[in-house]
């Protein structure tokens, strides 16, 4: 048998069910790895105070900064319960398989910070629905994972508790905002993780770290207990090594939650594993010319094209399509998302929970100092942009117009799906860049989301599938976008591709 941390979710399921491995043995193994290679900056700090990350070198086994908190006693207790259930013949769907959660989901047994100083020390009285459903399926929670503050970022450099390093090269970003989730899976610190995708925050870090991740149709997974950034865009999804693993996780994670989440679709979950291994003969894959235009690096283009050729050999046919509003997705997103964020984040003021500034004279000054000291620069920037576009005199000029263009972007996709079944292209224009390379230029960070934003604005399902390596031997991701509620079709295409490729099985040297 391979080392425990090299096993897929499915392989772990089988080993646990046949009692070749115990849940406690598996959990102890991953906890040790997380402690030695993934514990960040703050995980042992009692006050969760922001710290600077320690330097590391490419390929080193230094911490990647993925984990923000762990509760080993709780994790081992859950593992023992899984062992008891397995021995009693009462195993649930994912009994004993470990998972770690992006720190944007509230949890009773671990602190929840959303990567922000303003929530330092906060403990939720309840679990997010996504967390509860995975626990109810028997999964063992290992801890909480680093993320850009309030999920705002494309590099995981905006966390108040330090950056996340890419396991393939510790001098590069892991991607964001779910960079901790992607790095933890890639480095073998957990076999699976939860992430959230507002404008590409599952797909982009999955691509940069060489793993598989899927964002389902908006509303397919409950947002209850997921700390809101942009409510009309945020969506939870799983991250793992393979499409098959993501299918197992998504089957549990999805489902209606209409009593607690007004954005939840009243559509039963499905067993997405049943749709795998379907024939691709005659499948029409649309290639938007806008996704392959100037600005796409040659190394990414070559890897994506090679993956498309493999799908053609499996029976698919390529169709040229157009998504003409693609270039407008960036300004539309950076009007709408900050507008929603300025409203959602107004609740963090130091009154009831989290960080409160010291040395204020009155309530107004307490608000001002708490938010100035508690929020990072990128969060403050987006709050200010959002407040501006919603202000009197600018609401009609910016926010309303952005909503109109959002509808046009959705219409572009529907016209495209009349010509094809699935849309494919790159996840990002380049491979992961160097840490700090774009920190002083927020706009260049925003431009890196050009290929992921359109599907998010339209509320469509999308995923990233490892498809090769580019400059610096850094992973490249193939993006697959489906029509509404077509997650099963996307997972099948990805699974069939992974059946004839091995990019998703390759591990970074730091994962040894």
Q: Which residues contact 74 (CB under 8 A, 6 or more apart)?
A: 109, 110, 141
From the number of C-beta atoms within 10 Å of its C-beta (0-12, 13-18, 19+), residue 75 rates as: buried
Burial state string for 280-308 with b = 16 or more CB within 10 A and e = fewer than 16: beebebbbbebbbeeebbebbbebbbebb
Is 201 annotated as catalytic?
yes
Using the 8-state DSSP alphabet, how is residue 212 labeled?
A: E
- Cα–Cα dist 38/434, whole Å: 19
Q: Tell me which of 22, 40, 56, 102 is the catalytic residue.
A: 102
Distance of alpha carbon 237 from the chain centroid: 7
Is 102 annotated as catalytic?
yes
Q: Tell me which of 69, 132, 201, 329 is the catalytic residue.
A: 201
Query: What residues are paired with 468 via a beta bridge?
Result: 476
Is 177 annotated as catalytic?
yes
Query: What residues are paired with 101 via a beta bridge?
Result: 144
81 contacts 193 by C-beta, under 8 angstroms:
no
Q: Tell me which of 56, 177, 342, 456 is the catalytic residue.
A: 177
81 contacts 121 by C-beta, under 8 angstroms:
no
Give the closest residue to 12 by CA, choosing from 140, 98, 76: 98
- Cα–Cα dist 241/244, whole Å: 9
User: Known catalytic residues?
Assistant: 102, 177, 201
């Amino acid at each position: 048998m391979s080392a425990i941390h090299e096993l897929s979710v499915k392989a772990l399921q089988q080993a646990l069910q046949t009692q070749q491995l115990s849940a406690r043995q598996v959990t102890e193994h991953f906890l040790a790895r997380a402690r030695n290679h993934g514990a960040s900056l703050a995980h042992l700090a009692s006050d969760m105070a922001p710290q600077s990350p320690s330097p590391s070198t490419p390929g080193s086994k230094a911490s990647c900064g993925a984990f923000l908190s762990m509760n080993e006693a709780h994790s081992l207790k859950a593992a023992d319960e899984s062992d008891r259930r397995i021995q009693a013949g009462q195993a649930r769907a994912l009994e004993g398989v470990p998972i770690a959660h992006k720190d944007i989901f509230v949890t009773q047994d671990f602190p929840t910070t959303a990567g922000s100083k303003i929530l330092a020390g906060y403990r939720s009285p309840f679990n997010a629905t996504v967390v509860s459903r995975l626990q109810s399926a028997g999964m063992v929670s290992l801890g909480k994972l680093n993320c850009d503050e309030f999920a705002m970022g494309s590099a995981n450099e905006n966390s108040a508790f330090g950056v996340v390093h890419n396991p393939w090269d510790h001098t590069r970003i892991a991607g964001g905002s779910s960079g901790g989730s992607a790095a933890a899976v890639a480095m073998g610190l957990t076999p699976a993780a939860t992430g959230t995708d507002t404008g590409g925050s599952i797909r982009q870090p999955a691509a940069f770290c060489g793993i598989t991740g899927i964002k389902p149709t908006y509303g397919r997974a409950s947002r209850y207990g997921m700390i809101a950034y942009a409510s009309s865009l945020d969506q939870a999804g799983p991250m793992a090594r393979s499409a098959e693993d993501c299918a197992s996780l998504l089957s549990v994670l999805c489902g209606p939650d209409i009593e607690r989440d007004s954005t939840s679709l009243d559509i039963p979950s499905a067993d997405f594993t049943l749709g795998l291994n379907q024939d691709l003969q005659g499948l029409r894959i649309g290639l938007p010319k806008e996704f392959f235009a100037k600005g796409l690096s040659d190394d990414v283009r070559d890897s994506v094209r090679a993956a498309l050729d493999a799908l053609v050999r499996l029976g698919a046919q390529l169709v040229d399509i157009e998504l003409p509003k693609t270039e407008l997705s960036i300004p539309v997103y950076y009007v709408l998302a900050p507008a929603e964020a300025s409203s959602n984040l107004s609740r963090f003021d130091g009154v009831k929970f989290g960080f409160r500034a010291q040395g204020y004279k009155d309530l107004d000054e307490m608000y001002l100092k708490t938010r100035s000291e508690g929020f990072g620069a990128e969060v403050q920037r987006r709050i200010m942009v959002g407040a501006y576009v919603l202000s009197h005199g600018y609401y009609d000029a910016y926010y309303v117009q952005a909503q109109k263009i959002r509808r046009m972007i959705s219409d572009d996709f529907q016209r495209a799906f009349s010509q094809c079944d699935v849309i494919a292209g790159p996840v990002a224009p380049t491979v992961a860049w160097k840490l700090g390379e774009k920190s002083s230029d927020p706009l260049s960070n925003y431009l890196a989301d050009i290929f992921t934003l359109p599907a998010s604005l339209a509320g469509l399902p999308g995923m990233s599938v490892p498809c090769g390596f580019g400059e610096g031997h850094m992973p490249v991701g193939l993006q697959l976008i489906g029509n509404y509620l077509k997650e099963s079709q996307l997972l099948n295409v990805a699974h069939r591709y992974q059946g004839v490729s091995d990019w998703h099985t390759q591990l970074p040297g730091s994962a040894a």
